[in-house]
């Protein structure tokens, strides 16, 4: 094997060398300045998703394709409905969702059992296997948070017997969630203090609060101080407005961001509602996503 022939390289002038050095330095500075914006979503402090029901895609894997158009990082997915017996508990449905998320390049952010608003966890025996099965589904999907809804028929306000039964049922299922590394998040009309009392009675790190800023504001709570009071007991949040885009309603999301900074929150924030009457969903949610990214940047 013969040695390669050496080719003389043209000498650079001192001015050209300086110009190259300046350009390289500028490029490095620009890359360093833009790193947080160019970072992969998994490295962001906050990830932004949306609820599949707010996207008009409840229990529909098609939510991921729409979420990609919007510019989201993922989707909060419904476990199912009473009519389909919470189909996401089935391996076949789980494969469909994993495939849809992968094709869109997004994440399955968290699960939600919204049907508990109509089939209450506090009183209906059908809800017990749903919650237990949601833990296995979350583990199979690589999801860490499950929203348990307590509105409408499931409302816990002024219902001490209902709260007692919810505590009893959560105590029974919490060890399963702990073992799976999954958190059950209570979303309800209760105040921060009432939530803390419920959590203390359950006594498990796997049961926390799913905080909705709009619900708290509508109830007249000081939502910014409630966030600080609940602190690490918040597992995930809804960024919501009723009938208005985010930033154009009653919630001051800059104050929300300040409160989240104070408690060191990291993780998902899901857009819910925030659709003005008669406005197109896609454009509205693109605007919501841009606004929230600006606040959370």
- In the numeric block, the tokens 């089935």 are attached to 90
| CATH at residue 170 | 3.20.20.150
Residue 144 has pLDDT above 90, yes or no: yes
In a domain? residue 77: yes
More confident of the two residues 297 and 288: 288
In a domain? residue 5: no
Q: Model-level pTM?
A: 0.86
In a domain? residue 21: no
Total number of domains constituting the chain: 1
Domain extent for 271: 46-296
pLDDT category at 44 given cuts 50, 70, 90 is confident
In a domain? residue 2: no
In a domain? residue 17: no
For residue 22, what pLDDT is reported?
38
How far is Cα 178 from Cα 206, in angstroms, rounded to an integer? 5
Q: Considering just the CA atoms, what is the radius of gyration of the chain in Å?
A: 24
In a domain? residue 273: yes
In a domain? residue 12: no
In a domain? residue 244: yes
């Amino acid at each position: 094997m013969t040695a390669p022939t050496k080719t003389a390289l043209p000498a650079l002038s001192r001015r050209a060398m300086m110009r190259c050095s300046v350009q390289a330095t500028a490029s490095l500075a620009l890359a360093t300045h833009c790193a947080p914006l160019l970072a992969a979503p998994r490295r962001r402090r906050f990830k932004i998703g949306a609820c599949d029901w707010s996207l008009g895609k409840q229990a529909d894997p098609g939510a991921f394709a729409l979420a990609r158009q919007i510019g989201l990082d993922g989707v909060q997915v419904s476990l199912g409905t009473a009519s389909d017996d919470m189909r996401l508990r089935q391996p076949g449905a789980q494969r469909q969702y994993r495939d849809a998320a992968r094709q869109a390049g997004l994440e399955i952010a968290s699960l939600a059992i919204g049907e508990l608003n109509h089939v209450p966890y506090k009183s209906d025996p059908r809800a017990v296997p749903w919650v237990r099965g949601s833990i296995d589904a979350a583990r199979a999907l690589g999801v860490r948070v499950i929203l348990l809804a307590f509105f409408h028929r499931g409302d816990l306000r002024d219902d001490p017997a209902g709260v007692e039964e919810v505590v009893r049922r959560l105590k029974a299922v919490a060890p399963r969630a702990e073992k799976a590394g999954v958190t059950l998040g209570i979303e309800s009309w209760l105040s921060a203090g009432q939530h803390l009392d419920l959590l203390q009675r359950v006594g498990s790190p796997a049961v926390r609060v799913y905080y909705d800023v709009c619900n708290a504001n509508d109830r007249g709570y000081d939502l910014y101080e409630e966030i600080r009071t609940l602190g690490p007991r918040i597992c995930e949040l809804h960024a919501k407005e009723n009938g208005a885009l985010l930033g154009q309603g009653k919630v001051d999301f800059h104050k929300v961001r300040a409160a989240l900074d104070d408690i060191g929150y990291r993780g998902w924030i899901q857009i819910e509602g925030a659709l003005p009457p008669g406005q197109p969903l896609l454009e509205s949610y693109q605007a919501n996503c841009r606004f929230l990214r600006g606040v959370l940047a």
